Amino acid sequence: MQWRWIKALLCVAMLSLTLPALGEVPTGIVKQSLGRDFGVLAGDLIRHEYILQVPADYDIAEASLPATGDLSYWLTLQDVQVELLDSNSARALFQVVLIYQTFYAPLDVRELTIPAQTIRAHHSNGEEIILSLPDWNFMMSPLKEIVPRGVGATDSGSAFMKPSLPPVLQPLADKQNRVIALAIIATLLGLAWVVLNGWLWQRKQSPFQQAAKKINKLDKNQQDEKRHLKAFEAIHHAFNAVAGQVVFTYHLPFFFENHPEFITYQNEITTFFEQSDALMFGQANDQQPTLKELQQLARRLSRAEPLVVHA
């Protein structure tokens, strides 16, 4: 019986020697992600992530973090990030991220080393724990071969870099036909727009044709009196252009004598001038013509006009 108790005590003693003391929390790196350590090229970003464990009530000292900037002529520390991931009454977990960028351009495959870093965790009572991030070796590859070799190499030595994927030729016949069809449609629509707006033959329009067009374009939001004045002015300008001088009411006998082609519309022209005088001197009445009637008058006069203008 005594031997059993002695054996039990010896087992407990040996186990206590191999286990950490009660309540002791291991500190340091519990997890890390360093990325691939081969095939690194000039300009690549290297991201190192560490999960650090410290006892509760300890915090990472910001001042102990490595400063961003150039670490050497070929290595730069671009960014440093620290984040508290989890904590309880026994321990705290911090994530530390270091982002490096290498500018070394080797001529052949070369092994390089990112130096070790030291971080401190401090307690409110002034105690500190030193955490070490070990150095890291990686292989850098050149951007191109010094001497071309392999598939595609020629005696001239011009085959260095190869495309990641061979270019694929896309059939363009259908797309080309679509582009041509769309171009033709766009051209026809543009030509129709120009014709409908009268831009194509605008210079060839006769004075009364231009008057009819101006009346058609009058702003419908303007007051009726202003629109009527502009409509009358447009037709008056047409008479002046045909006669080569300003035409007033008392000039009409001379106008018909010099332009007999308009005698057919003598009554309408005389009525127009009388209505214009009444409107000009504030004596307009309900018998004033509408814009549509003025436009129709200009169009009727344009029928006789080409005989005069283009004779």
Q: Residue 290: what pLDDT?
A: 81
DSSP states along 123-181: ETTS-EEEEEE--EEEEE--SS-SS--STT--TT-------SS---PPP-HHHHHHHHH
* Residue 243 contacts residue 255 (beta carbons within 8 Å): yes
Token pair, residue 102, equals 């290498």
- CA 279 – CA 300 distance, rounded (Å): 22
Helix or strand holding residue 2 (H, E): helix 2-18
**Which of 45, 49, 47 has the alpha carbon at shortest distance from 29?**
49
Torsion sign, CA atoms 216, 220, 225, 227: negative
Using CA atoms, how far apart are residues 34 and 32, in angstroms rounded to an integer?
6
From CA 119, how far away is CA 49, in angstroms rounded? Answer: 14
Determine if the pTM surpasses 0.85: no
> Which residue segments constitute the domains of the chain, with CATH numbers given?
28-140 (2.60.40), 207-304 (no CATH)
Please report the pLDDT score of residue 282 as a whole number.
72
SS3 (DSSP) at 183: helix
CA distance 185 to 92: 71
Hunting for tokens 């670490």 — which residue is that? 71
pLDDT computed for residue 198 by the predictor = 62
Residue 178 CB neighbours (<10 A): 10
pLDDT < 50 stretches in the chain: 1, 17-23, 157, 307-311
